[in-house]
Amino acid sequence: MRERPIPMAVRLPLVVVAFMATVAAIVSWQVLIRLDEAQSRRLRDVAAAHLDGLAAALTDPVIREDVWEIYDALDRARQDHAGLRPTDTVVATPNGNVLASSDPRAYPSWSTVPATFPAQARQARDLAVRTDGARALARRDLSSGGHGIGSIYASFDLAPLLSERRSVQWTLLATNLAITLALAAMAWFTVRRMMRPLRTLARHLQDEGGAGIMPVPEEETRRAGPEGAALYAAFNRMAEAVRDRETLSRTLAEEERLASLGRLASGMAHEINNPLGGLFNAIDTLKAHGERPDVRRRSLDLVERGLKGIRDVVRATLVTHRADRDQRELGPEDLNDLQLLIGPEIRRRGLILTWDNAVRSPVAVPAVAMRQVVLNLLLNAAQATPADGEVTLTARAVDDGLLVVTVEDTGGGMDADGHDLLSGRRERCVGSGGGGNGLGLLMVRRLIGELGGTIVSEPRFPVGTSIRVTVPCRSLEIERLANVA
């Protein structure tokens, strides 16, 4: 399951806390380092002062090896020195034997200096200090006339210094923690205040109850700062533009619905009117040559097929949910009939019609839909071709189960809108135009899509347009004529 992202109002305070904790750790580390250095210097100075005082008081008694006078001097020196309390002091001879100590029971005279007072620097000419746990160990060599006469070993209690260090550590920790929490709280409130315009915009962007994008009220705009007011003003302009666009879209949708009804009525008239010319020609032929059996049979077949085509168009438009339609295969006569139907338009415009129908047997393609495709292409080609021009139809049933029909003209060529309309890059017809674009091409594209075919339009050399329709031959199923109309 996808985790919910952390809100910005929480992430920013967390980032502030992380930065502050890092800064606090670095500052605390530097403070403790400086404190350690200061305490070390203080320890050395106090220890040096203490041992210097002892050295001055003990030089003569050590030369004389007067143990009791050394005891007396050590007893007088047992006092705090600037918070540094000496615990054990041992005065030793150069060969490492104890002359006297502040604790005779622990360090008796003439015994060996214990390991608790190691000589850190045997050749040291000055103070040597080593901290060991809660104690500080110091050594000072005694000399007279340039000759060593003994050494003083002393240990000091570091409890006051360690207590001071712990106090500083806890003070730093508490101070940094308080500052970090305070800054985190300030950051949280500040970020929430800064994020208020965004939360307001997000709330107004949500389409609650289908009301769409709602503008920010004027009262809330006045409460915001200058940046928030500018942001709200820009958002309100955008919201008004979106609402205007939605209103315009609804208006255009209504107009498109009405236009679709008009195109449907025009298409019905267009598809019904085309066969009527051929029907009237067949009736005129029957009136003039009705006594001839071959002419009468041919004319009656044409009348019957034309009426069936009109019936199918009307049914496809008015009875969209019925399935008892004539789903016959396309035969050679269906294409040849179009030659007679387009004939009056060809003659009226003074064009030349070249017809090459190589389909010799029925193919598994819906006859009504294919006739409408070819008829619309022929009508658009005739409309785009000037007088004395040529319109050509070529039909082939290729071996790989495809029906290929090509319609060519010698007009001025189809414009970019017509090519876009046939290729599907444009969804609305742009009128007939000079190139034969419009309702016919839109219907052709929809029919070819229903048939599962493809349509390619390209310029024809030297002038004109060539439109090639490729439809797969397949087993015909009961389909709704509304889907192919």
Q: What is the model's pLDDT at position 391? A: 95
Other beta carbons less than 10 A from residue 49's beta carbon: 13
- State the average pLDDT over residues 258-264: 62
pLDDT band (50, 70, 90) for residue 403: very high
Is residue 263 domain-shared with residue 155, that is, in the same domain?
Answer: no
Q: How confident is the model at residue 434 (pLDDT cuts 50, 70, 90)?
A: very low
Task: Specify if 96 maps to a domain.
Answer: yes
pLDDT tens profile 335-349: 888 887 787 788 888
List the domain range (segments joined by +) for residue 461.
Answer: 328-428+437-484
Q: What is the pLDDT of residue 341?
A: 73
Which residues neighbour 454 within 8 Å (Cβ) at sequence distance 6 or greater? 448, 469, 470
Domain-embedded: residue 1? no
Predicted confidence at residue 430, as pLDDT, reads: 45
Within its chain, how far is the Cα of 27 from the centroid?
A: 40
**pLDDT of 209 over the 90 cut:** no
C-alpha distances in angstroms, 219 versus 206, 207, 216, 223, 258? 20, 21, 8, 7, 43
183 falls within a domain: no
Q: What total number of domains does the chain contain?
A: 3
Domain CATH number, residue 473: 3.30.565.10
Residue 258, C-beta contacts closer than 8 angstroms, at least 6 positions apart: none
Give the pLDDT band (50/70/90) at residue 307: confident
263 and 349 inside one domain: no
CA distances to 50, 333, 359, 408, 469 from 403, rounded to whole Å, are 117, 15, 9, 17, 8
C-alpha 423/C-alpha 431 separation (Å) is: 16
Put residue 110 in one of left, alpha, beta given phi > 0 → left and psi -120 to 50 → alpha: left
User: Is residue 458 included in any domain, yes or no?
Assistant: yes
Q: Residue 474: CB partners within 8 Å, gap ≥ 6?
A: 364, 365, 401, 452
Q: What are the tens digits of pLDDT across the range 143-167?
A: 887 788 888 888 777 777 777 778 8
Q: Hey, which bits of 292-389 come out as E strands?
A: 329-330, 352-357, 363-366
In a domain, 242, yes or no: yes
In a domain? residue 155? yes
pLDDT digits (tens, 9 = 90+) for 52-82: 788 888 888 888 888 888 888 887 777 655 5
State the chain's mean pLDDT as an integer.
Answer: 76
DSSP assignment, residue 411?
S
Residue bearing the bigger pLDDT, 247 or 319: 247
472, part of any domain: yes
Residue 120: pLDDT over 50: no
Residue 253 lies in a domain: yes
So what's the pLDDT on residue 189? 80
Band the pLDDT of 327: cuts 50, 70, 90. low
